[in-house]
Every structure is written in C-alpha cells, then in structure tokens.
Structure 1
C-alpha cells in the first residue's frame, strides 16, 4: 500500500485500520462476554426480558435520519478545503436539529411507554410493568444521547482523524458493556443496568467533547452558527443514505421469511446457518471500507482527483484478491465448519453454497466501490437504485424458491449483487 500512496496517507490509513480492528474486537468481546455473565447474574427469564427491552430502542438509532453520517463527510471536505467556518456551521446545525428532535422523541417515547401496555405487548413477565417501563425509558435516553455522541465523533473526524474517532467509539462501547456487566454482577436488575449504560454514555460524551475542544478549539457545540440552509443542503444526501440500511435489512431479513414460507423450518435453519458462515468476511471488508472513507472525503475537499483515483486503485487492489481468497476459503472450509457448528444437523447444500458465497463476494466488491461515492455525499442515486434492486431481487427469490429451492434464492441474491457492480461504477463516474 505504501508504494502507491504517500507516506503520510499510508501511515494514517494504517492507524485507522488498526483502530477499526480494535473496534471489531471490542464488539465481538462485548457480545460474547455479556451473554454468560448476564445469564449467570440474572437467569434466563430476566436476561430474556433485557433482550426484548433493549431491542426496542434500536429503531431510534436512525432518529437523526442519516444527518450525522453525511455531516462527517461534509465537515472533512470543508476542513480539507480550508473552510472551517463551513464545518462549524454544519456541526452546529446538526446540534440544533438534535437539540430539538431528541427531547421531542424522548417525550413521545415516555408518553407511549407509560400510556400504552408496552410490557404486555413485549410479553415481559420477569419484571414488573413499572420496572420494564423505566428500563425502556433509560435505554431510549441512552440511544438519543448516542446521536449526540455521533455528532462529537463527526467533529473528531473533521480534521481527518478517523483513527481517533474509531478509538473513542470502540472504547465507549467497551465501557458501556463493562458497566452493564458490573451492575448485573453487583446484584442490580434491569433498571440498574440501563442506568449504568446511560451514565457511561454521558461520561464518554463529555470526555470525547473535552478531547475534541482541546485539539480543535474552533469547533464547539451551540446554535449561534446554525442555519436552515445548511440543514436543507444536507437533507437530500442524509435521507438518501437512510435507504442503504433499509435495503440491506430487506436483503437480510426477507429471504428468511421467503425460505420459511416456501420451504419450511429445516430449510430455514440451513439457509440461516450457511449465510452466517458465508458472511463472516463482510466484517473485514467493512473495516477496510470504513478505514478509507475519511481519506476520500479529505481528498475531495482538496480537489485531488488523482489522489482519489490512486486510493481507489489501492483499495480495489486489496479488496479483489482478499474477496477471492475468502470465497475460496469458505468453499473449502464450509463442509467441515457447518456440521461442526450444528453438531451434524446442517450439511452443505449444492449448488446453494457456491451461489451464496458468490453473492457475498459480489456484495463485497460493490460495497468497496460504494465507499468513494458515499464519502463525498454523492450516493443519492445509487442508494435509490439499490433499494429498487433489492425489491426486485426479493420478488425473484419468492418466484424461484418453490421451483429451485435454496439454490433459487441464492441465485436471485447473486444476480442482485452482481447488478449493483455496474451501478456503482456508473455512480463513481457520476460523482467525479
């Protein structure tokens, strides 16, 4: 990589990649460690109640409607172009939006929680309705403050410091998981755990903001420089970016429903397990994509098209052989891994397995091509096309499943992801 990029860029990308790897390790460690710890401390009924309640606020993670993501890119481009005043205006405009939206969402959530029988709807029987409502409200407050934390992370990234941003985000996640475990092991219930999460979120938010002010003293929270025109300019790319997780969720969740309805429970288990094994490598590709996002934005801000083209060549030069090697490794290992993970219950199904692995490989390739487009907030057209492609793919899967079984669904997914590759090439040319 260093042969194709200048020394400073290569060093910065190396630090960012290391920070992204740290974040992946933290996420995996927290997920794996919390399950046995919370089961030991609470038992199955109470832990089940925690899982149900903590799943509800997930949908509020999209409550900023994609504004903080596009703000990161816009701020990096503005600072790289020497326009700190524009970056400050973006920062404070998003803060003004959150300052209005978060209290309204919290009030609406509180009204819904305490007026409706939410614990009954969720079938939470291990705790009292009052405890369930309080826990849910604390978890929702934590998610809303997380939006503000994301904005501070955007400020940290503004001067092209993606490694620092990733370190702060991962460390906050680690401290949050530790707080939940500590509260549970100390004898606390769901309210104590949710309260500990919220307390850690507030502490890490304050610490990250103080760190940001120490390095970028020109960047501060407030509303003095906020304006409606700035938000209006960010609105279209922000809402367009929201289509990406929507389409991804469709392609992840809907095939399971199609398999279950057309082929039954056994096929659902085979599909889910095989897909889990085949998608493990997506984490590595996402880590690589996230590592170069800020660099693309900074290059765009400086108007360095040659640098962006050089970075794309390096990214593609790493992604293509890594994807090929991963696909081959899965095809070789799956006949041994699948029976081992399921105690012999799931065996490889052909040609379903190679078709599904090929679909994942195609997804890896087009997601890499998507990175330079999204990094400069020029993703509106391609995300809309992706949503349309996802819809057509699912319709094709529903038609092919009764005829060709699991292989028909995998073939539809493969065709959909292959179709996105020329779309991304077109989008990249359009974004120049």
Structure 2
C-alpha cells in the first residue's frame, strides 16, 4: 500500500526509520528493566533509592535549551531540502553558540544552588548518600548539558533527511549510558562512579556521533562563525511553543494522581495509576510512526511538495486509526485479566472508568498523530498553546468531577480534554496546508 503511494526511496527510508525507532524502544525497555535488579543487587535498596532521587533532579534541565534543538532540526531539514545549506549552517551555528553561552552559566548556577541547600534534608537522604550527593548531582547535570550538544549533532545528522541514523545514534547513546552505569556498579563503584560513567559515555557518544555527521555532511561542522541573531529570532517562537507540549502533558499525567490521592485515597490512586500505565502502552507505537514520518514532512515542505505530504498524511492517519482500533480492543479484553496479575489481585478492572480511560488515550493517540505534520514544519504554536489551556481547564475541573463521580469522573475529564484537541489540530493542519 505504502509502496504504491510513495516513491521507492521514501518507502525504503520510512522502513529504515521504523526499524531504528523499534531499536530505540527495545533499548529503552531493556535498560529500564535490566538496571533495576542489577543496581538493587549491587547497591542495596537505600543507595538505589538515593540514586533514583538524585537522577530525577537534573531531568528538568533537559529543557535548558528552551526547545531550540528540536525546532532547529526541522528548520535544517527544510533548508537542506530546499537547497539552502547556508541557512541550515546558520541555524546550526546559532544554536551551538546559544548552548555554549548557556551551559557554563547553568553549570555555575546549579553548583551554587547545590552547595547552598541541605540536600540531606531536602531529598531525605541518609548520611552515606548525602556525602556524595553534591558530586553526583553536578556530574548528572553535566551529563544533561552534554545531552543538549548531542541533540544538536543529531539535528545535523537529520538535516539530510536521515532520521533513521539519528534515531539509531540516540538509542545507542542510551544503551552506552545504561551499560556504563551497570559496569560502574558491578565494579564496586558507588553513586559518584555511576554518574561519572554516564558523563564519559555521553562524551564518547557525542564525539562518535559528530564523526558520523562529518562523514555524512562534510559541509556542516560545529562552530559559531555563522551564528546569527536573526536565525535564533526566527526559532524562538516555535521553540517556546514546543515547550508547552510537555508542560500540558505533565499536567494531565501527574496532577490526576495527586487529585485522586487527596480525594479518594491510596487504593484509588493505585487503581488509576496501574490502569493508566496499561492503557497508555499504545502511545509508544503511535509515537514510533509519528517520529518516523516527521522528517519526511519537513523535507517535503522544503521541496514544496504538498501533494506528497497529503498522501503521507493519509497513510499515517490510516495506520494510526488501525493501530488505535487494535489497541483499544486488546486493552479492553486483556485488562480484566492483566490488572489483577500485575498487582497480586489488589487492582481489578473498574467500569466505566476503564473504557473511558482507553477512549481518552485513543483520542490522544489520534491528535498527536495529526500534530506531526504541523510540528515538523515548526507551525505548532497555536496547537500547543491551546493544549496547555485545555489541560489547565481540565485540571481546574478535575477535583469537582472526581468528588462527584470518582475515577469515572477523572477519566471522562481526560477524554474531554483529548477529544477537544482533535478538531483543534485538524483546523491547524488545514491552515498549515493553505
């Protein structure tokens, strides 16, 4: 079907990208599953718990580039596809200069904050973990800042419409970091050794990916000679708009747990969280599809080929709808058996909460897919702003509906939020096409 609708080169490229995305999912699951028993055995519960706490803190610095690397890759793909390598280089150098200026400032500010607060009390650490906590946090923050440079190099790799290579490097870097942590722990190292191993692994991945970039695009190299304030000015609106998406997602993912815990208690919280985890499994598959076609939309926009972009959208939406149907049926059939198995009979399927929650995730899968061609050309500002407003309104009403209808009420609120995003995204897509 795809082969009849798209040219052979595009079909092969999409196949390679899907394979690379699948490789990334396998690596993510492997690292997450394998590290838990390994680190528990090597460190014990207390030290592993301290590692989880400390490694969660620098997560918020993953947004330290303010979304510029994400929108830069779209701009670079469009520029190269349009034959404007000079524009792609200006974007690349401009974001690199921004990172070079911001990273030392963030590192110094982080160090000052870490030394000023009582980490033992703030994070409820025991005496052994508290001694090494400042060094661990500084190393983890350094690793996060190096990750921003890695993302920029990956943007350079993608600029020639090579999303498969980019995805493969991203997954390989995650695998290297996971292996580095495991080796450090099994060699008898503590938290500092594991954090230092992560930094070394990220540095190796960064230099290796950059060598790959230089082989693939010898015209593109790191530097700031062609850095341009106008290039950054053209990116800041879509960059900040990009930041609104994870903010809205965080509201809809984390706040319901807090609201349910405060109103209904621990059992309802566990029921909601476990059921939602199972229901959201389908998001990984639709994200794989969306991530695989995003670069194609950017390249087609650069070439001005709206007809091929429309065909690709029809294929993407068709595949997504089939996946949603299969996913919804599978979850509704399996949940009554899987939930008690996962929770040792502590949690069972609750109706109509379960089908409403599955419908909410299905709506999220659909509008997220429809957002892909819009975000791929950095025209997503209106949609992400609307999403944040919808998320805020939903959470403002969540307490009342939970008080009135319990888990069914919160699931209905989430369904309403994601269903409302479908026509908003469709309208934005039509405007982008025009």
Alignment of 1:50-61 (within 5 A): 50-61=51-62
Provide the C-alpha distance between the structure 2 equivalents of 1:417 and 1:13, rounded to a whole number of angstroms. Answer: 28
Task: Please state how far the C-alpha of 1:128 moved relative to its aligned partner.
Answer: 5.1
Provide the C-alpha distance between the structure 2 equivalents of 1:94 and 1:59, rounded to a whole number of angstroms. Answer: 19
Question: CA-to-partner distance for each residue in 1:81-126, whole Å, 9 max, x for gaps?
Answer: 0000000000000000000000000011111112222233111215
Question: CA-to-partner distance for each residue in 1:362-391, whole Å, 9 max, x for gaps?
Answer: 100000000000000000011000001111
- CA change 1:40–1:128 in 2 (3 A) is closer
Provide the C-alpha distance between the structure 2 equivalents of 1:277 and 1:393, rounded to a whole number of angstroms. Answer: 22
Give me the TM-score of the superposition, normalised by structure 1.
0.99
Task: Please give the root-mean-square deviation of Cα atoms over the aligned residues, in Å.
Answer: 0.9
Aligned twin of 1:318 = 319
Aligned twin of 2:155 = 154
Question: CA-to-partner distance for each residue in 1:172-221, whole Å, 9 max, x for gaps?
Answer: 10011000000000001111110010011111101110111112011011
Alignment of 1:31-430 (within 5 A): 31-125=32-126, 127=128, 129-430=130-431
Give me the TM-score of the superposition, normalised by structure 2.
0.98
Provide the C-alpha distance between the structure 1 equivalents of 2:419 and 2:295, rounded to a whole number of angstroms. Answer: 26
Provide the C-alpha distance between the structure 1 equivalents of 2:324 and 2:44, rounded to a whole number of angstroms. Answer: 41
Answer whether contact 2:47 2:129 (CA < 8 A) is retained.
Answer: no
Provide the C-alpha distance between the structure 1 equivalents of 2:67 and 2:174, rounded to a whole number of angstroms. Answer: 20
Task: Please state how far the C-alpha of 1:415 moved relative to its aligned partner.
Answer: 0.9
Provide the C-alpha distance between the structure 2 equivalents of 1:103 and 1:343, rounded to a whole number of angstroms. Answer: 49
Structure 2 residue ranges without an equivalent (≥5): none
Answer whether contact 1:334 1:348 (CA < 8 A) is retained.
Answer: yes
Provide the C-alpha distance between the structure 1 equivalents of 2:398 and 2:113, rounded to a whole number of angstroms. Answer: 37
Question: CA-to-partner distance for each residue in 1:309-333, whole Å, 9 max, x for gaps?
Answer: 0000000110001101110110011
Provide the C-alpha distance between the structure 2 equivalents of 1:215 and 1:404, rounded to a whole number of angstroms. Answer: 57
SS of alignment partner, residue 223 of structure 1? coil
Task: Please state how far the C-alpha of 1:396 moved relative to its aligned partner.
Answer: 2.6
Residues paired across the two proteins, number: 432
Question: CA-to-partner distance for each residue in 1:121-142, whole Å, 9 max, x for gaps?
Answer: 1112152544110011000000
Answer whether contact 2:91 2:232 (CA < 8 A) is retained.
Answer: yes
SS of alignment partner, residue 326 of structure 1? helix
Provide the C-alpha distance between the structure 2 equivalents of 1:277 and 1:318, rounded to a whole number of angstroms. Answer: 21
Answer whether contact 1:22 1:167 (CA < 8 A) is retained.
Answer: yes
Deviates more, 1:393-402 or 1:152-161: 393-402
Provide the C-alpha distance between the structure 1 equivalents of 2:222 and 2:252, rounded to a whole number of angstroms. Answer: 38
SS of alignment partner, residue 55 of structure 1? helix
- CA change 1:20–1:128 in 2 (3 A) is closer
Deviates more, 1:263-272 or 1:293-302: 263-272
Provide the C-alpha distance between the structure 1 equivalents of 2:56 and 2:398, rounded to a whole number of angstroms. Answer: 28
Aligned twin of 2:17 = 16
Provide the C-alpha distance between the structure 1 equivalents of 2:127 and 2:383, rounded to a whole number of angstroms. Answer: 46
Deviates more, 1:257-266 or 1:55-64: 257-266
Structure 1 residue ranges without an equivalent (≥5): none
SS of alignment partner, residue 3 of structure 1? helix
SS of alignment partner, residue 160 of structure 1? coil
Provide the C-alpha distance between the structure 1 equivalents of 2:128 and 2:305, rounded to a whole number of angstroms. Answer: 58
Task: Please state how far the C-alpha of 1:263 moved relative to its aligned partner.
Answer: 1.3
Task: Please state how far the C-alpha of 1:77 moved relative to its aligned partner.
Answer: 0.2
Task: Please state how far the C-alpha of 1:394 moved relative to its aligned partner.
Answer: 1.6
Question: CA-to-partner distance for each residue in 1:336-365, whole Å, 9 max, x for gaps?
Answer: 011111111111111100000000001000
**Poorly superposed stretches of 4+, deviation over 4 Å:** none
- CA change 1:235–1:345 in 2 (3 A) is same
Aligned twin of 1:6 = 7
